Amino acid sequence: MNVHIRVLEASDAEAYRHVRLQALRTDPEAFGSTYEKEAGVPPESIIERIRPAQNRFTLGAFLDNGALAAIVTFVRETGTKTEHKGNVFGMYVSPESRGRGAGKAIMTELLRMAKKLEGVEQINLTVVSDNVPAKRLYESLGFKRFGVERNALKYGGRYFDEDWMAYRLEPLTEEEIFDHHQHGRDSRSHQRPGGNPF
């Protein structure tokens, strides 16, 4: 399975909204927002949410048939003492695409793009503590757990803990710089290997 990763634009708003609502419907405990709240968000707000800016972007993983299989958002902090950090929000892979490389591909591209932002040194995220597949993915990419928030979320009368994880950025290697300049957008296509406001 080929997965093509790119930054989402205004024209992707409807596809993003569909996947976002699917995420909130199928995995409600994994997100701070709710299906009911997001279902009422007007189209122009969705467009503004995914519109790329200097310190934020939303990525989409597309299959060969054009279907949007995964989404994730990066937001850099803007405070004078915190602008060296960025955060990952709204990571989601559709059920039919899980275990097929889409999650790793989209997170790998997020990290690659974050490395290009001058001064960004650390990327943080939170993940529901019992979401073992997601935690394994993040750990395989180099994220390290540094804390646990007990009862971070409450849904359906049940509490969910969240693990806090961080990734320390290293500068782009010469190979990565060369690959980016040589292939441009094509360098964001990944072949399947063998196997919060959001």
pLDDT in tens, 51-74: 999 999 999 999 999 999 999 999
Q: How much of the chain is helix, strand and coil, in % rounded to 5?
A: 40, 35, 30
pLDDT of 123 reads 98
pLDDT of 170 reads 77
Domain boundaries, the chain: 2-191
Please say whether the beta carbons of 198 and 31 come within 8 A: yes
**What is the pTM assigned to this prediction?**
0.85
187 has pLDDT over 50: no
DSSP H helical segments within the chain, as ranges? 13-26, 35-39, 43-50, 102-115, 132-141, 174-183
184 has pLDDT over 60: no
| Residue 189's pLDDT band (cuts 50, 70, 90) | very low
Sign of CA dihedral 131, 4, 196, 139: positive
Mean pLDDT of the chain: 89
Give 45's contacts (C-beta < 8 A, 6+ positions apart).
none
Looking at the chain, the whole-number percentage of residues with pLDDT higher than 90 is 83
95 has pLDDT over 70: yes
Please say whether the beta carbons of 87 and 125 come within 8 A: yes
pLDDT of 45 reads 97
| Residue 16's pLDDT band (cuts 50, 70, 90) | very high
| Residue 122's pLDDT band (cuts 50, 70, 90) | very high
pLDDT of 173 reads 67
Tens-place pLDDT, residues 158-168: 999 999 999 99
pLDDT of 175 reads 72
Looking at the chain, the whole-number percentage of residues with pLDDT higher than 70 is 86
| Residue 43's pLDDT band (cuts 50, 70, 90) | very high
Q: Does domain 2-191 have CATH number 3.40.630.30?
A: yes
